[in-house]
Amino acid sequence: MQQFFRNIWEILEMIKIGHSVLALPFAFMGAMLAARGWPDGRTTLFILLAMVAARSAAMAFNRLADARFDALNPRTASRSLPQGRLKESAVLIFVIVNSGIFIWAAGQLNQVCLLLSPLALVVILGYSLTKRFTSATHFILGLGLGLAPVGGWLAVRGDLSFQVLVLGASVLFWVAGFDILYALQDEEFDRQTGLWSLPVRVGSFRARSLAAGCHLLAAAGFFLTGRMAGLHGVYPVAALLGAGLLAGQHIILVLRGATRLPPAFFTLNGLIGVGLGLATWLSLIS
């Protein structure tokens, strides 16, 4: 029994369950925009279940796919799989189970979500393999998280709207910009091992400039989403603060360098999603 709970802890640590906050607020933001308020309890439950399962499957598959590279990288060599604290077979079962839960939860929402759920899995799982052949990997990760608000909207209405596509694109650029900055830590390792990333392809200075451009597009998209959805009051303030936090990441990078990004990077990005989601709800009920 002690070993069972130790394995559960290792899995939760491996998938960084606390980082679910990055995508979850945007899924509910899409649902709130579709419902023009908070969705009903049943829809809320299955959106939550689908999002947690999808992210858990994607993160575990990423650790499984990258285990060989993680073992060679000093920054990641202490992770559970390289250290043998988890078996690959156990992680694979975890991926399969969570993928099944995601598809089942999507089916509980509506037929459209059920039909599109395998395609979503291809994107969020397939991302982990893209670094082997394309430096667009950062944008594919962004696409995976950008599907969150689109999925939330589909869960409520079963159709699409331009405003949620703008929101999805904003999340895409937000994530891609952050992931480009994150990849700066491993630029030399990726170059030596033949892995693809924008820092490897264009150099760190140009990669940082591209990341800044992505975050500029993301900030503009968040503002545009609010305008299109008629979100007034607190939402524009939250969007402005979010833009400031994005700018703050680049300032931190200039001051500290990219060899080791501080934990504040994850905190800042989590605050952006939570802040925009909360502001959306407050704007819709006011």
How far apart are the C-alpha atoms of 118 and 99, rounded to whole Å? 9
Are 238 and 286 in contact by the 8 Å Cβ rule? The answer is: no
How far apart are the C-alpha atoms of 242 and 131, rounded to whole Å? 29
The model's confidence at residue 2, banded by pLDDT at 50, 70 and 90, is: very low
Are 19 and 270 in contact by the 8 Å Cβ rule? The answer is: yes
Check whether 273 has a pLDDT greater than 60: yes
Q: How many CB atoms lie within 10 A of CB 203?
A: 12
Are 202 and 190 in contact by the 8 Å Cβ rule? The answer is: no
Please write the tens of the pLDDT for every residue from 41-58. Answer: 999 999 999 999 999 999
pLDDT of residue 200: 94
Please write the tens of the pLDDT for every residue from 118-149. Answer: 999 999 999 999 999 999 999 999 999 999 99
Question: Which distant-in-sequence residues (6+ apart) come within 8 Å of 29 by Cβ?
Answer: 149, 152, 167, 276, 277, 280
Low-confidence winner among 17-31, 66-80, 91-105, 211-225 (lowest mean pLDDT): 17-31
Residue bearing the bigger pLDDT, 68 or 286: 68
pLDDT of residue 15: 59
pLDDT of residue 260: 61
CATH code of the domain covering residue 170? 1.10.357.140
Question: Of 181, 121, 151, nearest to 26 (Cα)?
Answer: 151
Residue bearing the bigger pLDDT, 91 or 17: 91
pLDDT of residue 17: 57
Between CA 227 and CA 232, with CA 231 as vertex, the angle to 5 degrees is: 100
The pLDDT > 70 percentage for the chain reads: 89
Amino acid at 17: I
pLDDT of residue 119: 97
Check whether 1 has a pLDDT greater than 60: no
pLDDT of residue 8: 61
The token duo for 214 is 């992505």
pLDDT of residue 275: 94
Q: Outline where the chain has alpha helix (H).
A: 2-14, 24-35, 41-65, 67-72, 80-83, 88-109, 111-130, 137-157, 162-183, 187-193, 198-202, 204-229, 234-256, 264-285
77 dihedral zone (left: phi>0; alpha: psi -120 to 50; beta): alpha
Q: What is the mean pLDDT of residues 15-35?
A: 82
CB neighbour burial string for 101-113, b if at least 16 within 10 angstroms, e if fewer: bbbebbebbbebb
pLDDT of residue 78: 85
Q: Tell me the average pLDDT of the chain.
A: 90
- Count of alpha carbons within 13 angstroms of residue 237, beta-carbon side: 7
Are 235 and 226 in contact by the 8 Å Cβ rule? The answer is: yes
What residue numbers bound the domain in which 100 lies? 2-285
For the chain, what is the domain count?
A: 1
Check whether 272 has a pLDDT greater than 60: yes
Model pTM?
Answer: 0.92
pLDDT of residue 77: 86
The model's confidence at residue 111, banded by pLDDT at 50, 70 and 90, is: very high
